[in-house]
């Protein structure tokens, strides 16, 4: 993959947002989403500010880009993030269909300052019965009715 000077500038903006976040009491993470050579969204981590454990820089930036572009499909976009995405953010990036991820710090760098997500990867490798947080099936037959209704719906918007 050929990295351009423009790629470096986008990453510098993600890093700037991360630095700004630290100065303002947020976590040390920032991200920008680029479409057709233009930054369409940029945000930082706001977990503690918003009392929202999902308010990671990548998720905040994806939400912002989707609102601005009026779509849930960011397949024509690229994300630049100041740190290798955690499992939640990586999942959100995949769900948004973003085509490329550039990152600054590694997950080992993050773990070195107490932002470790290895436990989540380990949990995903465990059988459901062996995970730290119990997953308990309940009312599956009733819940399946909703899936049947979705499957039969003629005018659904698939994603």
Q: Which two tokens stand for residue 6?
A: 């423009």
The single residue of 5, 38, 58, 125 carrying the catalytic annotation is: 58
Please name which of 133, 25, 50 lies closest in space to residue 59, comparing C-alpha atoms.
Answer: 50
Angstrom distance (rounded) from CA 106 to CA 47: 20
Q: Which two tokens stand for residue 137?
A: 């099936």
Tell me the angle at which helices 118-125 and 87-95 cross, rounded to the nearest 10 degrees. 70
Task: Let me know: does 63 contact 33? Beta carbons within 8 Å.
Answer: no
Catalytic, 9? Answer no
Hey, which residues are catalytic here?
58
């Amino acid at each position: 993959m050929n990295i351009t000077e423009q790629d470096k500038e986008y990453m510098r903006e993600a890093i700037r947002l991360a630095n700004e976040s630290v100065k303002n009491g947020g976590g040390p993470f920032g991200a920008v989403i680029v479409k057709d050579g233009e930054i369409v969204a940029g945000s930082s981590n706001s977990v503690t500010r918003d009392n929202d454990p999902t308010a990671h820089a990548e998720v905040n930036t994806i939400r912002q880009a989707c609102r601005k572009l009026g779509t849930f499909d960011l397949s024509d976009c690229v994300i630049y993030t100041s740190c290798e995405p955690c499992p939640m953010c990586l999942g959100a990036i995949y769900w948004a269909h973003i085509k490329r991820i550039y990152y600054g710090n590694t997950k080992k760098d993050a773990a070195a300052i107490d932002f470790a997500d290895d436990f989540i990867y380990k949990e995903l490798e465990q059988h459901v019965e062996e995970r730290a947080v119990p997953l308990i099936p309940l009312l599956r037959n009733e819940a399946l009715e909703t899936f049947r209704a979705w499957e039969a719906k003629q005018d659904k918007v698939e994603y």
